[in-house]
């Protein structure tokens, strides 16, 4: 990482002179990150979020999703790229199965009898994922080993997936009697199409790296020992692009699937007017 403090440590949000706060939220402190099973490093324009419970294959709890949401709310304004990665042998084994029996930490599991309360509860957890689509940042999932259930959905919530050749994706929720509800169904359908999405979810089968690359789940596929280097190269390339153009283009591209051709043409004109004013305006 490029920037470091005078003592040589990478700069983290909690190290920042402004106390780690940015418009919209207070950065989670070290204790909150630890409880969430997360690590956060911010080095200039790049934030790296590491799922950091390798002894549990980075299984995620409610605290993890709340921690991700808090990171999203408090990200310094000058961060342009966010990398999500997993410590140890896997990206993430999904939800901490102990939570179903109340052993996984972060409070008990809802039985859904209070529909409105459950709706609010899940919406709060989904906030851990939705910020990854903000146009101000480009998000990169660096996936190795297993990406199961909530872990697969986290990779799907990112803009770009860089995948090691040992990666294995599995949408396990239907096999457990549940649906994927951490924002993954929309990007999955948009990436692989409805038929393939149905087949993957309703069989809960494992997709290996080679197939993931073939069906569009991975933009970049590399040998396991090349993952960090490939992510670094991608980040360097992303940062080389004009920041304002990157924000406007991400907004444009993510808006495209929901727009008619006329609406998208209008959106292109609108964004370009903004760019022209910034690039050529006096
Ligand atoms: N929740 C809690 N603990 C987990 C989880 C999990 N999701 N996944 C792994 N662990 C724990 C194991 O219990 C084990 O603990 P132990 O050392 O105390 O026995 C440790 O992590 C290592 O797991 P292993 O199974 O020994 O590791 P291995 O590399 O052989 O297998 C794998 C990894 C394939 C991920 C396997 O652990 C697994 O299938 N986990 C469950 C995956 C799952 O069903 N997730 C839920 C998806 S649905 C959703 O996310 C909403």
d(CA 138, CA 246): 8
Residues 35 and 142 in one domain: yes
Condensed to tens digits (0 to 9), the pLDDT of residues 230-261 reads 999 999 999 999 999 999 999 999 999 999 99
70 and 183 co-located in one domain:
yes
Whether 210 is catalytic is no
- Structural domain includes residue 89: yes
Question: How many structural domains are present in the chain?
Answer: 2
Looking at residue 73, which CATH number applies to its domain?
A: 3.90.226.10
One domain for residues 128 and 261 = no
Pocket of ligand 1 (CB under 6 A): 56-57, 59, 89-90, 93-98, 146, 148-150, 172-173, 176
Ligand 1 centroid – CA 97 distance (Å): 8
42/33 Cα distance (integer angstroms)? 14
CATH number at residue 247: 1.10.12
> Does residue 25 lie in a domain region?
no
Tell me if 21 is assigned to some domain: no
**What range defines the domain where residue 269 resides?**
241-281
The ipTM, to two decimals, is 0.98
CA of 216: how far to CAs of 123, 171, 187, 191, 256, in Å? 27, 16, 11, 6, 18
State which of 37, 93, 150 you would mutate to test the pocket of ligand 1, scoring each by most atoms of that ligand within 8 A of its C-beta.
93
Q: Whose CA is nearest to atom 41 of ligand 1?
A: 93
- For the sheet containing 206-208, what is the strand order? 146-148, 168-170, 206-208
Among 173, 190, 199, 219, which one carries the catalytic annotation?
A: 173
Q: Read off the pLDDT of residues 109-135 as tens digits, 9 standing for 90 and up.
A: 788 899 999 999 999 999 999 999 999
Q: 1 with 48: CB under 8 angstroms?
A: yes
Same domain, 258 and 231: no
User: In this predicted structure, what is the pLDDT of residue 106?
Assistant: 53
Question: Coil, helix or strand for 163?
Answer: strand
| Contact (Cβ atoms closer than 8 angstroms) between residue 72 and residue 132 | yes
Ligand 1 centroid from CA 93, angstroms: 6
């Amino acid at each position: 990482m490029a920037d470091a403090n005078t003592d040589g440590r990478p700069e983290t949000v909690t190290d920042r002179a402004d106390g780690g706060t940015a418009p919209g939220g207070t950065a989670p402190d070290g204790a909150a990150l630890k409880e969430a099973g997360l690590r956060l490093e911010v080095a200039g324009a790049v934030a790296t979020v590491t799922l950091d419970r390798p002894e549990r294959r980075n299984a995620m709890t409610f605290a993890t999703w709340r921690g991700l949401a808090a990171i999203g709310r408090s990200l310094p304004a000058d961060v342009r790229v966010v990398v999500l990665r997993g410590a140890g042998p896997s990206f993430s084994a999904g939800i901490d199965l102990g939570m179903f029996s109340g052993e996984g930490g972060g409070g008990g599991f809802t039985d859904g009898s209070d529909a409105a309360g459950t709706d609010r509860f899940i919406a709060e957890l989904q906030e851990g994922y939705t910020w990854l689509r903000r146009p101000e940042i480009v998000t990169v999932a660096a996936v190795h080993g297993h990406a199961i259930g909530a872990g697969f959905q986290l990779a799907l919530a990112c803009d770009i997936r860089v995948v090691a050749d040992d990666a294995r994706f599995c949408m396990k929720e239907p096999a457990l009697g549940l649906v994927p509800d951490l924002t993954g169904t929309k990007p999955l359908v948009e990436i692989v199409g409805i038929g393939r999405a149905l087949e993957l979810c309703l069989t809960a089968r494992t997709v290996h790296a080679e197939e993931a690359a073939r069906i569009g789940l991975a933009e970049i596929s590399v040998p396991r020992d090349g993952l960090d280097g490939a992510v670094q190269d991608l980040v360097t390339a992303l940062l080389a692009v004009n920041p304002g153009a990157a924000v406007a283009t991400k907004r444009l591209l993510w808006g495209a699937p929901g727009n008619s051709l006329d609406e998208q043409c209008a959106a292109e004109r609108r964004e370009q007017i903004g760019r022209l004013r910034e690039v050529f305006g006096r």
